[in-house]
């Protein structure tokens, strides 16, 4: 299995949770698969473990990917890393695939010169946000990592305390209230692809903000969005 190639002149493809159309999402395998291809960026999702480690997982339970109905943030990382995940290629649980740390993802982004898009999930404290920004700085990645979130609380906190960090508001709809928030706080927009219109793209661009869309796995749809002028397209399989 391989990726589906789109408009070769577009340089804004983001691998959703790594190359999750081929490898198990949000794992080292998925990040390396994306890193070794032409993607501009690699997206991941972060939670905090019981002992405050910043871990990479989209779900807060192991039910979907680990076949265990366990609440992941209630465990220490030393316990979490022992839970095997389903290998997307075989469909079987594998002891060799586990939930990684944010630091491992940051190292891959740095080594392969990929832009990281880190989605802040819903159990994070402000101390966790401080830690995430500190880790980004420790890897010298301040200019190469964007933080993305549905939570305006998270984004407003980061903008106030770390004004140079690149931020994106995730949204399932688009309206004047959302655009006004982005313009007021200088936060880019990453919106569900099927609610975006050309007028909104132009308004955000005139304000100096970027526009991304998620999650697009259809080649024709992606190429239409590129013609509309989006800056980034997040996909599980398109490259």
pLDDT tens digit sequence for 2-31:
999 998 899 999 999 999 999 999 999 999
Does residue 234 contact residue 43 with C-beta atoms inside 8 Å?
yes
Task: Classify residue 90: in a domain, yes or no.
Answer: yes
Task: Classify residue 165: in a domain, yes or no.
Answer: yes
Q: What percent of the chain has pLDDT over 90?
A: 99
Angle between helices 198-206 and 176-185 (to 10 degrees): 20
| Most distant pair of Cα atoms in the chain: their distance | 49
pTM for the predicted model, two decimal places:
0.97
Task: Classify residue 97: in a domain, yes or no.
Answer: yes
Task: Classify residue 3: in a domain, yes or no.
Answer: no
Question: Across residues 93-111, what is the average pLDDT?
Answer: 97
For the stretch 201-220, pLDDT in tens is 999 999 999 999 999 999 99
Task: Classify residue 162: in a domain, yes or no.
Answer: yes
Task: Classify residue 223: in a domain, yes or no.
Answer: yes
Residue 50's pLDDT is 98
Ramachandran angles phi, psi of 132, nearest 5°: -60, -45
Task: Classify residue 4: in a domain, yes or no.
Answer: no
Domain containing 172 equals 13-235
Q: Where are the alpha helices (DSSP H) in 6-143?
A: 28-35, 63-66, 77-80, 102-112, 126-138
The number of domains in the chain is 1
231 three-state secondary structure: coil
Report the C-alpha gap between 20 and 173 in whole angstroms.
Answer: 24
- CATH number of the domain within which 66 lies: 3.20.20.190
């Amino acid at each position: 299995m391989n990726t589906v190639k789109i408009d070769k002149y577009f340089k804004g493809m983001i691998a959703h949770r790594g190359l999750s159309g081929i490898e198990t999402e949000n794992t080292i395998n998925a990040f390396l698969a994306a890193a070794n291809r032409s993607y501009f960026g690699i997206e991941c999702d972060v939670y905090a473990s019981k002992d405050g480690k910043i871990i990479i997982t989209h779900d807060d339970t192991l039910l979907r990917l680990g076949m265990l109905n366990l609440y992941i943030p209630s465990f220490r990382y030393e316990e979490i890393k022992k839970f095997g995940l389903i290998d997307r290629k075989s469909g079987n649980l594998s002891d060799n695939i586990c939930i990684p740390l944010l630091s491992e993802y940051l190292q891959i982004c740095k080594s392969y010169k990929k832009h990281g898009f880190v989605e802040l999930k819903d159990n994070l404290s402000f101390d966790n946000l401080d830690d995430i920004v500190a880790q980004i700085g420790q890897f010298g990645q301040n200019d190469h990592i964007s933080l993305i979130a549905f939570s305006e609380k998270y984004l407003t906190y980061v903008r106030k305390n770390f004004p140079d960090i690149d931020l994106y508001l995730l949204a399932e709809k688009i309206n004047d209230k959302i655009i006004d928030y982005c313009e007021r706080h200088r936060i880019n927009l990453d919106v569900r692809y099927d609610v975006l219109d050309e007028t909104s793209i132009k308004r955000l661009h005139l304000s100096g903000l970027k526009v991304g869309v998620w999650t697009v796995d259809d080649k024709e749809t992606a190429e239409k969005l590129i013609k509309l002028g989006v800056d980034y397209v997040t996909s599980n399989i398109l490259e």
